């Protein structure tokens, strides 16, 4: 079977993008204790998002100072799913009984137009426009103890609905164990337009565990609620991006 192409040879420049800006929580202690764990966790998380859907990313993620990152999504309707996937992937690297805390991140999502997008080969660090401003300033104002996932879009009414729900979602994610995060990550990472989501049986086979274990883990993390939230956001964002809803 021919390999699926993840990016067309000439990707069309998007008019509206989602910028994900994040930093790793407690990165100083992580870097001192396990110098390779943080780099590996970030690289794996980025690969998960890049491979999730064709032409999802504009270029690659940039990493700054080893613990801060930024990426541009050409498909803003998948911004929430991408943010959850990043955090699930990072948290899944924690082994049972490990002394270090789970690797996690604060992620600020800014959605809007852009004035300048660097070529995909250069990364997003020099991008300009509303989406970059919204994402960067939002992360700067996210304080310790607050939800680690927030949105600022071109639609204030959507923000008012989205951010309280993101606070509830963050409360769930923050309690996922390494194994639970791995199951969620496996269920979410396959989302190409021409593919159906994984079934529990397929996820179990991929993870090398029983289907009953997958079912128990998904129930424990509130996966049905997470999935419904993702679908609701994706539908609402798609309507607004298409102009069907102001």
At residue 41, the pLDDT reads: 86
| Residue 84 belongs to domain spanning | 16-241
At residue 118, the pLDDT reads: 87
Per-residue pLDDT of the chain (246 residues; tens, 9 = 90+): 444 444 444 567 778 999 999 999 877 666 565 667 788 889 999 998 988 887 889 988 999 877 899 999 999 999 999 999 999 999 998 655 555 567 899 999 999 999 998 888 887 888 999 999 999 999 999 987 789 999 999 999 999 999 999 999 999 999 999 999 999 999 988 654 556 778 999 999 999 999 999 999 999 999 999 999 999 999 999 999 988 766
- Residues in contact with 199: Cβ distance below 8 Å, sequence separation at least 6, in sequence order: none
At residue 53, the pLDDT reads: 80
Is 10 part of a structural domain of the chain?
A: no
Is 145 part of a structural domain of the chain?
A: yes
Is 142 part of a structural domain of the chain?
A: yes
* 13 secondary structure, DSSP code: P
Q: How many domains does the chain have?
A: 1
At residue 169, the pLDDT reads: 97
Q: How many CB atoms lie within 10 A of CB 90?
A: 24
Average pLDDT along the chain: 86
pTM of the shown model = 0.88
Cα 15 to Cα 11, 69, 90: the distances in Å are 12, 22, 30
At residue 114, the pLDDT reads: 93
Is 5 part of a structural domain of the chain?
A: no
- Least Cα distance to 75 among 57, 95, 49 occurs for 57
Is 234 part of a structural domain of the chain?
A: yes
Rg (CA), the chain: 17
Is 91 part of a structural domain of the chain?
A: yes
Is 132 part of a structural domain of the chain?
A: yes
At residue 195, the pLDDT reads: 61
Is 3 part of a structural domain of the chain?
A: no
At residue 122, the pLDDT reads: 80
- Residues in contact with 79: Cβ distance below 8 Å, sequence separation at least 6, in sequence order: 18, 20, 73, 109, 111, 151, 237
Q: Domain holding 24: CATH number?
A: 3.30.70.270
């Amino acid at each position: 079977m021919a390999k699926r192409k993840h990016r067309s040879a000439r990707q069309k420049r998007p008019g509206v993008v989602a910028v994900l800006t994040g930093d790793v929580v407690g990165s100083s202690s992580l870097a001192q204790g396990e110098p390779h764990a943080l780099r590996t966790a970030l690289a794996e998380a980025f690969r998960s998002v890049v491979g999730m859907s064709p032409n999802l990313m504009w270029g690659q993620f940039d990493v700054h100072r080893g613990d801060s990152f930024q990426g541009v999504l050409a498909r803003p309707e998948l911004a929430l799913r991408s943010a959850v996937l990043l955090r699930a992937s990072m948290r899944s690297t924690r082994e049972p009984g490990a002394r270090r805390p789970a690797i996690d991140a604060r992620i600020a999502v800014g959605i809007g137009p852009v004035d300048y997008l660097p070529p995909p080969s250069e990364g997003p660090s020099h991008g300009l426009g509303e989406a970059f401003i919204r994402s960067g300033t939002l992360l700067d104002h996210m304080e310790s103890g607050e939800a680690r996932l927030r949105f600022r879009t071109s639609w204030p009414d959507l923000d008012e609905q989205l951010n309280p729900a993101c606070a509830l979602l963050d409360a769930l994610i923050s309690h996922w164990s390494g194994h639970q995060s791995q199951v969620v990550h496996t269920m979410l990472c396959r989302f190409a337009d021409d593919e159906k989501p994984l079934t529990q049986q397929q996820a179990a086979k991929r993870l090398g565990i029983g289907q009953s274990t997958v079912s128990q883990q998904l129930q424990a993390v509130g996966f049905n609620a997470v999935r419904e939230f993702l679908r609701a956001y994706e539908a609402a964002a798609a309507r607004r991006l298409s102009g069907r809803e102001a």
